[in-house]
């Protein structure tokens, strides 16, 4: 399961989506999350699926790779759906199943299905952002978007750098965890037998070496940045300047059509 986590990974490419301005991809990703919660009918998700399918085709990403990203958090999606299924109340006319203290209403089924769809589409949509945007571009894009807040004392560059480093090191820490698990399995550790509680307890020995490795990597990164005379964002220049092109206009237009369709379906 650890290998299936794709958040924070970047796949180099020369596709239309790869060449978009990072600010465009960040803004569309944020608005995409809001759009998912605008939709209140299952039919509305057909437009979202079509938009994601078109984006995946244009970006040249593998569907199997995106599926791995969803598979990595499948347990979380399942738990969320089950909780909504049993916890959302309804009326006597919408009662579907009742056994002792367990009751399932039509509203619970609808909410469970909606939340599962939203989480799946949310993970795929945000994964496309990191899979098609390099860490440097992501940092520049976030910093440029936060620049207006510098007037109120917000450290835009430092915040962008911290967010990008945190995102970039997710797959690195996952790889480190996988290596530690394999090393401990070779020494007789058992992470698979027993119930859920036993499996959770068996993961505790992973925390100490993982924390030590994380602190070591953080120290190495700090030393590398100091060796390159990094002193924050003040006075820094960039080899590649960000600028909007016709590609960004096409991307905004396509996304505007998606939002218009979502609002239209909600009103109807």
In three-state form (DSSP H/G/I as H, E/B as E, the rest C), the secondary structure along 174-213 is HHHHHHHHHHHHHCCCCCCCCCHHHHHHHCHHHHHHHHHH
- Unique residue bearing structure tokens 């002193």: 231
Phi/psi for 104 (5° steps) reads -125, 125
Q: What's the pTM value of the predicted model, to 2 decimals? A: 0.76
- What secondary structure does DSSP assign to 14-70, as a single string? -STTTTS-HHHHHHHHHHHHHHHHH--SGGGHHHHHHHHHHHHHHHT--HHHHHHHH
- Looking at residue 246, its pLDDT comes to 92
CB 244 within 8 A of CB 21: yes
Residues 121/47, Cβ–Cβ less than 8 Å: no
From first CA to last CA, the distance across the chain in angstroms is 41
- Residue entry with tokens 């347990």: 75
Query: Is 98 strand, coil or helix?
Result: strand
**Binned average pLDDT, 10 residues per bin, the chain of 268 residues:** 61 89 92 87 84 91 79 81 82 75 81 86 87 84 83 79 78 80 79 69 78 86 84 69 88 92 84
Nearest by Cα to 5 from 179, 239, 227, 171: 171
Strand pairing report for 102-105 and 95-99: antiparallel
Q: What are phi and psi of 149, to 5 degrees?
A: -80, -5
| Cα–Cα distance measured from residue 88 to residue 109, given in angstroms and rounded to the nearest whole number | 9
| Residue-level pLDDT at 4 | 55
CA gap 233, 24 in Å, rounded: 22
Instruction: Tell me the sheet residues that pair with 95.
Output: 105
């Amino acid at each position: 399961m650890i290998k299936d986590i794709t958040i924070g990974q970047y796949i180099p490419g020369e596709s239309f989506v790869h060449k978009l301005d990072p600010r465009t991809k960040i803004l569309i990703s944020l608005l995409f999350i809001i759009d998912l919660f605008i939709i209140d009918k299952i039919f509305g998700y057909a437009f979202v699926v079509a938009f994601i399918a078109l984006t995946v085709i244009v970006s040249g990403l593998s569907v199997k790779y995106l599926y791995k990203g969803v598979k990595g958090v499948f347990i979380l999606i399942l738990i969320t759906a089950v909780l909504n299924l049993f916890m959302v109340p309804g009326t006597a006319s919408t009662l579907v199943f009742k056994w002792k203290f367990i009751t399932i209403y039509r509203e619970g089924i609808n909410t469970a299905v909606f939340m599962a769809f939203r989480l799946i589409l949310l993970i795929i949509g945000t994964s496309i952002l990191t899979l098609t945007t390099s860490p440097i571009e992501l940092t520049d894009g976030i910093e440029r978007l936060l620049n207006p807040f510098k007037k109120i004392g917000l450290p835009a560059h430092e915040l962008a750098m911290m967010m990008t480093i945190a995102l970039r090191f997710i797959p690195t820490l996952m790889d480190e965890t996988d290596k530690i698990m394999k090393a401990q399995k070779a020494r007789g550790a058992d992470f698979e037998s027993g119930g859920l509680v036993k499996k959770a307890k068996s993961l505790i020995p992973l925390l100490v070496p993982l924390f030590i490795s994380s602190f070591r990597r953080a120290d190495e990164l700090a030393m590398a940045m100091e060796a390159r005379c990094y002193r924050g964002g003040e006075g820094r220049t960039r080899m590649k300047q960000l600028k909007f092109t016709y590609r960004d206009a096409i991307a905004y237009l396509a996304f505007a059509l998606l939002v218009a369709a979502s609002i239209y379906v909600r009103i109807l």
